[in-house]
Structure 1
Amino acid sequence: MWRPRVTRIVAYTTAGVVVVTLAVLAVVVAPQFGLSDRVFIVAFGLFVAWVLHMFARCRVVAEESGITVVNAFRTRRFEWPEVLDVSMAEGEPWPTLDLADGTSTSAMGINGTEKALAARQLAELKALLRVRGETPDPH
């Protein structure tokens, strides 16, 4: 399984700070704000935390039968023969899987900002694709 480290740390830390800050704000806000306003403030903080969680949960999971790509708001499962190639050009935020049906999909679980980790994860995924996929090795 591959997942970004920094993204998870930043997302969950930020989510915690947002929820705690808005909960405290809901308690100490001026008296003219009613209960519904205070509930909305906390609910907004929880919504922001949920969105951050959705980005932090991104991962790429390789199994014997295929690969599961968990992106922020969509999870897709592919059998190995469905994935033709994986590439990530310099400066791209995450790699792209080229699929047998002519489409492509992003794999947000490998984060390009974590350069060394992303390069290692991409190399591991490419090696698995060569072994388990049906695309011949270009070398």
Structure 2
Amino acid sequence: MDGAAESPMPPVTWRPRNIRVVAYGLAVLVLATMVALAVVLPEQFQVTDRFGLVLIGVVGVGVLHLLGRPRLVATERRVTVVNGIRTHVLEWAEIIDIRMPAGEPWPSMDLADGSTLAVMGIQSNDGERARADLAEFRELLHDHGEAEEPGGP
């Protein structure tokens, strides 16, 4: 028996590229601007005012992090979908299909319970890379088996 066939699949992670560059680039810019403003404020501004500016910058960084956080992780046993705020852990058998119709910002998973789940870890603004990532995940989905359609045999 081939030893490679028995070894578990290493985790595969897909992340959007463009939105991460924009989100984290803006985060650095926002925080640097707020710190610089806090330093150069006229003397009549109190320490609490300066602290407040930096705090607003930190909150802005947190919001931008939510935009840069999405990812899709596939392991041998499960799939983890991390969107802006929520994380969903799914067994392979729970996923019927993944699709990204033209014009949609990210793909959607059709789940065995009849619901759909947005997958923000692959984003159409990444162009050809997004299509390749979607095809790669779809191939893994077919390799790991799919759930049956609701109401099916």
Q: TM-score, normalised by structure 1?
A: 0.93
Aligned residue identity for 1:32: Q
Say yes or no: does 1:41 pair with 2:41.
no
Measured in 2, the distance between the counterparts of 1:24 and 1:81 equals: 52
Counterpart of 1:50?
62
Say yes or no: does 1:106 pair with 2:118.
yes
1:115 CA drift (Å): 1.2
Say yes or no: does 1:95 pair with 2:93.
no
> Which string of whole-angstrom CA distances, capped at 9 and with x for unpartnered residues, describes residues 21-57 of structure 1?
1100011112232111111110010111111112212
The size of the alignment, in residue pairs, is 136
Measured in 1, the distance between the counterparts of 2:62 and 2:122 equals: 21
Aligned residue identity for 1:64: E
1:113 CA drift (Å): 0.6
Q: What's the secondary structure of 1:64's corresponding residue?
A: coil
Measured in 1, the distance between the counterparts of 2:120 and 2:146 equals: 23
Measured in 2, the distance between the counterparts of 1:114 and 1:50 equals: 23
Aligned residue identity for 1:36: T
Measured in 1, the distance between the counterparts of 2:133 and 2:50 equals: 44
Q: TM-score, normalised by structure 2?
A: 0.85
Aligned residue identity for 2:36: V
Measured in 1, the distance between the counterparts of 2:147 and 2:93 equals: 8
Counterpart of 1:22?
34
1:61 aligned to which of 52, 70, 73:
73
Measured in 2, the distance between the counterparts of 1:134 and 1:53 equals: 32
Q: How large is the RMSD of aligned CA atoms in angstroms?
A: 1.2
Counterpart of 1:132?
144
Q: What's the secondary structure of 1:127's corresponding residue?
A: helix
% identical aligned pairs:
45
1:13 aligned to which of 7, 22, 25:
25
Higher-Rg structure is 2
Counterpart of 2:85?
73
> Which string of whole-angstrom CA distances, capped at 9 and with x for unpartnered residues, describes residues 69-116 of structure 1?
011101110000001110111111110011111111111000111110
Measured in 2, the distance between the counterparts of 1:98 and 1:6 equals: 25
4+ long deviations beyond 6 Å:
none
